[in-house]
Amino acid sequence: MSFDPKALRAEFPLLMLAQPPLHYLDNAATSQIHRSALKAMSDHDMFQRANIMRGTHRLAEAATAAYEDARARAAHFLNAATPDEVVFTSGATAALNLVAHSFGDTLRPGDEVMLSLAEHHSNLVPWQLLRERRGIVLRFLPLTADGRIDLAALADMLTPRCRLIALTHCSNVTGAITDVATVVAAAHGVGARVLLDGAQQVQHGPVDVQGLDIDFYAFSGHKCYGPNGIGVLWARGEVLAAMPPFLGGGGMVGEVTPEGSTFARPPQRFEAGTPAIAQAVGLGAVLAWLSMLPWRAIRAHENELLRRLLAGLRGRSDIRILGPVDLDARQPVVSFDIAGLHPHDVCQVLDRHGVALRGGHHCAQPLIRHFGLDGANRASIAMYTTQADIDALLDGLNDVVAVLR
C-alpha cells in the first residue's frame, strides 16, 4: 500500500474543513478522527442502535455482533491470544484505574508496585490511592539526565515483594520509548507482572502484546484516530480470570440474590452497565484501518519530520529540548522550553499562525520538574503531519519571541 501524507489528510474531515488552514501538532493530547470511525458510528446509530447482550430482537443481536466484532478487531491490533482478553473502558485512564482497583485488591500491605518518575498522572495517582487503601509500597525508578527511565537502577530496586511494574510505553513529554524487554526480564526474575501505559504508542502502529511478554496494556481511542470516550485494557486471560470485578451492575453478573451475586467471566465481568457501544464500533473500524497501513513508510515519514523539527529547535540558542535530541528509541513527541516565556503564552501566539500546540505540565509533573520547570511546550507529530506544519511552527517561533520579549 502506498503512503502519501497529503492525500491522507483528506480522510480526516477536520483537517480538510478547517478555515483558516490548521497546522495540528497536538496529537499526543488528541489525534484527529478518521472517517472510518465516523462512518461506523453513524451507521451503527442510524441502522442498528440497541442495547447489547441480553436482547433477542434483531437490532439487539446486530448491535451485539458489532460490539463483539470491535473487540475482535482490537484483539487483532494488539495480537492478543483471544478477544476475551480485551476489556472496553472509557479510555486509558479508566483502564489503569481498573487494574489499580481490581488487581490492586489482590495485593496485601507491604507488597510493592514499581513506577517511574516519567509517568502520566493516570499511571501514578491510582497507585497512590491504592497505597492509601491497601498499604502497598510504591517504588519509583529515577530518570537519566535526558529524561529517560533509568533502567540501570532496576536490578538494585527490585525486591521479592514486587508484584507489579507499571510504566509508560512511550513518554507523553519526551517521546522516549521504554526498553520493555529489560523490564520484563527483571520482573519475571521476581515473579512480578508488567503493565504498560500505551496511550502514546498506539497511534504509531499496531502493538504485539504477546511478543512484548507483558501482562497488561492500556490505551485510548482518541489518541489513535478514533472516538473519545472509549479505550482498551488488554490483560492475559489467566490474569483477568483471577481479578475481582471493579464496578457492579448489569451485564457483569451471573445470578443475583439479596444475599449475594455471582460474576460473569472476563471480559464481561469488567464491563458493568451499558457500554459506549457506538464508540467501540468506531474504534474497531479505525483499528482495522490502522492494521492495514504501510507502517514502515509511515515511520520513515514521521522520522523525517521529527528530524526537521529537532534540527530547527536545536538551531535556536533560546530553546531547550526536553528529552532525547536524536531519533533513537523514541516517537515524534517533542517538548521544549523557550527561556523566560510561559508555555501558555507561546501557544496563544502560535495559534495566530494556525499552529495548534500544547503548553503546560502535560499531566506529568514529576517529569517536568525533573527538568527544573513547571511547564513546557509540546509538539507531537502524526501520520498526516506535513512539512508545512513543521515549518509553520518553526516560523511562528520568530513571532513568538518578537511579541513576548
Q: Which of 226, 174, 241, 233 is nearest to 378 (CA)?
A: 174
From the list 312, 292, 309, the residue with the least C-alpha distance to 301 is 309
Query: How far apart are alpha carbons 94 and 96 in whole angstroms?
Result: 5
The residues that are catalytic are: 363
33: its cell numbers: 478522527
Distance CA 50, CA 57 (A): 9
State whether the Cα torsion 185-188-189-193 is positive or negative. positive
Distance CA 387, CA 367 (A): 29
Nearest CA-CA partner of 394 in 355, 344, 337: 355
**Nearest residue to 345 (alpha-carbon basis) of 390, 405, 393:** 405
151 closest CA partner among 122, 183, 121, 129: 183
Cα distance between residue 322 and residue 145, in whole Å: 10
Residue 136, H or E segment: none
CA distance 332 to 123: 21
* Separation CA 11–CA 14 (nearest Å): 9
CA atoms within 13 A on the CB side of 403: 15
